A and B are shown apart, each in its own frame.
Chain A
Amino acid sequence: MKLSQMPFLFVAGSIMLAACASGPATSPPNTLTAVKVDAVSTDAAASIWANAPKTTTVTKAAKKGAADGSTVTLQAVYDGTSIAIRAEWADSTDSWQRNVWKYDGAAWKRGGDQDRFSMAFPMSNNAEFASKGCGAICHNQETDDTKWWMGTDNADTKIDLWQWQSAATNPVAYADDAWWGTKPTITSTTGRRSDANTGGGAKANNAADGKGPAFVNKSGLDAHYILAGEEVALDMSKIASGAVIPGSILAPYTGSRGDVAAKGVYADGKWVLVMVRKLNTGNEDDAVFTPSKPVPFGIGLFNNAGDIDHTISPDVLTLAWK
């Protein structure tokens, strides 16, 4: 073969390359592309996010007739061992008063809720989740919300759930790691289970008679939370009408339930949250992430609410890798 014929080979090779590699240059819609970085971090302002593509999803009410929710902007990065997902959404209030004790001048009353952000990933290949999203699985394909039982139809279908909570988990820098399976018993109302833990977790801040709080934060009565070890006994002489005392004493879970580190910051009318987890925790109750393998997922947003009162990504989202 002559040297002058090399251009032919080059052209033929280029055609092959172009044809074989034909694919979208940009991320398709509803795709969250995780980019490789040196080291992930829960710092939402870190430089690692600069080159991570943003994808947005307008959340829709999960419950028929309820109001739709905020638009959530997502980004993802990963390193050799962990993945970090950054979520940002508008919220007019920082809802931290989940199950707090409120003093009306005569008695204590409990109440209140919190903001939450959750992500659901199938733990194995699942066609139904991949094509219909977490709504189809978690809601048992039932449009009547009174019939929801938050679980899967098939014992082989397990969904990993990360739920960050502004009051219950954010102060201790983790997101509650749980999973959905089938109903454990015929009388169960949910298929949701918490991941295994070896300790930690929140404890109720209840007085012995259960009619009020037992502790306050040692830093003062204005504290939004009480961390384990920072509680001091309540001094009723310092309590005035309208006082609000956190309803729990918080400590992060250890074990699989505490796998997901999280840091949410509320400022300027929005939450910015970063969740970090190992790609493979080695725990049976966690999804395994393999960079290069796309994973379907869904998100849920709870605005000062819990249970069915939330909004979800209406389409299946895909976690892709770059």
Chain B
Amino acid sequence: MSKVGRWIDERTGLGGPVRSFLNYAVPGYVHKNALYMLGGLTLIIFALQAFTGILLAFFYDPSTEGAYNSVDFITYTLPLGWLIRGIHHYGASAMVILTALHMLRTYFFSAYKKPREINWLTGVLLLFLTLAFGFTGYLLPWDQKGYWATNVGTRIAGSVPLIGDALMQLMRGGANLGQATLTRFFATHVLLLPATLALLIAVHIFQLRYHGMSPAITEKGKKEGGKFVPFFPYWVVNDAIAGLGMLAILIFLSATQRAPLEFPADPASSNFVPRPEWYFLFYYQMLKYFPGGLEPVATVLIPLFIFGSMVLLPFIDKGEERRPWKKPVTTIAAVFYIVVIVVFTALAL
């Protein structure tokens, strides 16, 4: 340890825990499988979102009069503002994709089984928080797309039986979208969600370290189970390289297709057709199949069923079997959901 390191360690006692964290033994079957990088990549993209979000917040004006102009300034006038906003914009999509892929890896590898139930539950919450980030961030530019998509989104919340009106009122801060809505969405997006997400990530990682990686599901993997490499530098370097690759993709996207900014929100506009961000398109499409009195089926029952089944999964599927090809029910159920989401998204495009 260097002189400076010793000085810090003597005063903080951090040396031991940090060494322990970095020397964590990663099983060979994990280190050699790129699918296990998804969690680390999701963490990296969250850090990137937090960093770019802080930079954007320096210039963003959370008022209905100033929001659009401030985002316009960031996008078209501020040096490299287009890049920061572009990374944040496309990073949001990347975070949804990576979170979903990480979740699928966990699901198909049965990594939610005892004793990792809490890790799975925090993962489910993290997925929904990621979607909440997308929903609340959408309104912030105060452009037509964000305004009308939020209008529809909050109306969907309003259609929930019994508590719908109160829920919509809570989200909007009034009967209509306005300054109160923007303030609430901004506070949720930059304070409540990041703090909750960071806390859940901490619990998630602590659980991961406490229980260790879930067992390998293949014979080959099991053979590798006895071999270990230290977390640092092996896994860290792998994830860092993949993270840089992901950053390169985000920069490429930001440079070739600027983060969109529609025209300013006009509450009096009657001809704007609201459309959600691509990761909500499947839901937008599904709502079309449940008109009128059937609406609560799509707005309440189906989301509750999906969320409930995700929460209950580790308590229902308690068997020892972890191989997806030996578990047709869970595998077919997941494939069904994936196909529905892909098909509905394609139909809505």
Interface residues in chain A, defined as those with a beta carbon under 8 Å from any beta carbon in chain B: 1-2, 5, 8-9, 12-13, 15-17, 19-23, 124-128, 130-132, 290, 292-294, 296, 318
A130 CB contact (under 8 Å) in B90, B144, B249: B144
B245 CB contact (under 8 Å) in A2, A13, A290: A13
Are A130 and B253 interface neighbours, CB within 8 A? no
B75 interface hit (Cβ, 8 Å): yes
Which of B7-15, B31-39, B304-312 is the contact stretch?
B31-39
A17 to B245, CA, bound (A): 12
B264 CB contact (under 8 Å) in A8, A13, A130, A318: A130
Are B76 and A130 interface neighbours, CB within 8 A? no
Are B258 and A292 interface neighbours, CB within 8 A? yes
A294 to B75, CA, bound (A): 12
Taking A13-B245, A20-B93 as known contacts, 20 extra A-B pairs with beta carbons closer than 8 A to each other, sorted by chain A number, are A1-B33, A5-B32, A16-B246, A17-B249, A19-B93, A20-B90, A21-B253, A21-B256, A23-B260, A125-B68, A125-B264, A126-B264, A127-B264, A127-B266, A128-B266, A128-B268, A130-B263, A130-B266, A131-B269, A290-B76
Chain A residues contacting B236 (CB-CB under 8 Å) are none
Are B245 and A296 interface neighbours, CB within 8 A? no
Expressed in whole angstroms, the minimum distance between the Cβ of A239 and any Cβ of chain B is 55
Expressed in whole angstroms, the minimum distance between the Cβ of A200 and any Cβ of chain B is 33
Expressed in whole angstroms, the minimum distance between the Cβ of A16 and any Cβ of chain B is 5
A126 to B144, CA, bound (A): 12
Are B249 and A13 interface neighbours, CB within 8 A? yes
Question: Please, could you name 15 A-B residue pairs with CB atoms under 8 Å apart, sorted by A?
Answer: A1-B32, A8-B35, A13-B246, A20-B94, A20-B249, A20-B253, A22-B278, A127-B68, A127-B263, A128-B266, A130-B263, A132-B266, A290-B76, A293-B75, A294-B263
Are B253 and A293 interface neighbours, CB within 8 A? no
Chain A residues contacting B144 (CB-CB under 8 Å) are 130-131
Are A12 and B278 interface neighbours, CB within 8 A? no
Are B238 and A12 interface neighbours, CB within 8 A? no
Are B263 and A19 interface neighbours, CB within 8 A? no
Task: Using C-beta atoms within 8 Å of the partner chain, give the interface range for chain B.
Answer: 35 or more
A16 to B242, CA, bound (A): 13
B101 CB contact (under 8 Å) in A5, A12, A20: A12
- Classify the secondary structure of B's interface with A: helix
Are A125 and B242 interface neighbours, CB within 8 A? no
A192 to B287, CA, bound (A): 48
A42 to B266, CA, bound (A): 36
B162 interface hit (Cβ, 8 Å): no
Chain B residues contacting A290 (CB-CB under 8 Å) are 76-77
A124 to B263, CA, bound (A): 11
B58 interface hit (Cβ, 8 Å): no
Expressed in whole angstroms, the minimum distance between the Cβ of B330 and any Cβ of chain A is 22
Chain A residues contacting B261 (CB-CB under 8 Å) are 293-294
Expressed in whole angstroms, the minimum distance between the Cβ of A17 and any Cβ of chain B is 6
B271 interface hit (Cβ, 8 Å): yes
Are A16 and B94 interface neighbours, CB within 8 A? yes
**CB within 8 Å for A131 and B93 given contacts A8-B35, A293-B76:** no
B338 interface hit (Cβ, 8 Å): no
Expressed in whole angstroms, the minimum distance between the Cβ of B239 and any Cβ of chain A is 10
B265 interface hit (Cβ, 8 Å): yes
B214 interface hit (Cβ, 8 Å): no
Chain B residues contacting A19 (CB-CB under 8 Å) are 93, 97, 278-279
Expressed in whole angstroms, the minimum distance between the Cβ of A135 and any Cβ of chain B is 13
Which residues, 244 to 289 on B, are CB-close (under 8 Å) to A? Answer: 245-246, 249-250, 253, 256-258, 260-261, 263-266, 268-269, 271-272, 278-279
What 7 A-B pairs have minimum CB-CB distances, sorted nearest first?
Answer: A130-B263, A131-B269, A131-B266, A127-B266, A127-B264, A5-B34, A20-B90
Chain B residues contacting A124 (CB-CB under 8 Å) are 69
A16 CB contact (under 8 Å) in B35, B97, B263: B97
Residue of A nearest to B235 (CB): A1
Are B94 and A131 interface neighbours, CB within 8 A? no
What are the interface flags for B71-107 relative to A under an 8 Å C-beta threshold, 1 for contact and 0 otherwise? Answer: 0100111000010000000100110010001000000
B263 CB contact (under 8 Å) in A2, A13, A131: A131
Residue of B nearest to A23 (CB): B257
B97 CB contact (under 8 Å) in A9, A15, A132: A15
Residue of B nearest to A9 (CB): B34
What are the interface flags for B310-349 relative to A under an 8 Å C-beta threshold, 1 for contact and 0 otherwise? Answer: 0000000000000000000000000000000000000001
What are the interface flags for B29-49 relative to A under an 8 Å C-beta threshold, 1 for contact and 0 otherwise? Answer: 001111101000000000000
Which residues, 211 to 242 on B, are CB-close (under 8 Å) to A? Answer: 238, 242
Chain B residues contacting A2 (CB-CB under 8 Å) are 32
Of the listed residues A12, A22, A124, A292, the one surrounded by the most CB atoms of chain B closer than 10 A to its CB is A12
Are B264 and A5 interface neighbours, CB within 8 A? no
Chain B residues contacting A128 (CB-CB under 8 Å) are 266, 268
Are A125 and B72 interface neighbours, CB within 8 A? yes
Are A1 and B34 interface neighbours, CB within 8 A? yes
Residue of A nearest to B101 (CB): A12
A197 to B322, CA, bound (A): 80
Chain B residues contacting A15 (CB-CB under 8 Å) are 97
Chain A residues contacting B75 (CB-CB under 8 Å) are 293
Expressed in whole angstroms, the minimum distance between the Cβ of B207 and any Cβ of chain A is 24
Expressed in whole angstroms, the minimum distance between the Cβ of B322 and any Cβ of chain A is 20
Chain B residues contacting A23 (CB-CB under 8 Å) are 257, 260
Chain A residues contacting B68 (CB-CB under 8 Å) are 125, 127
Chain A residues contacting B238 (CB-CB under 8 Å) are 1
Chain A residues contacting B82 (CB-CB under 8 Å) are 292
Expressed in whole angstroms, the minimum distance between the Cβ of B341 and any Cβ of chain A is 12
Residue of B nearest to A141 (CB): B268
A293 to B262, CA, bound (A): 9
A128 to B127, CA, bound (A): 37
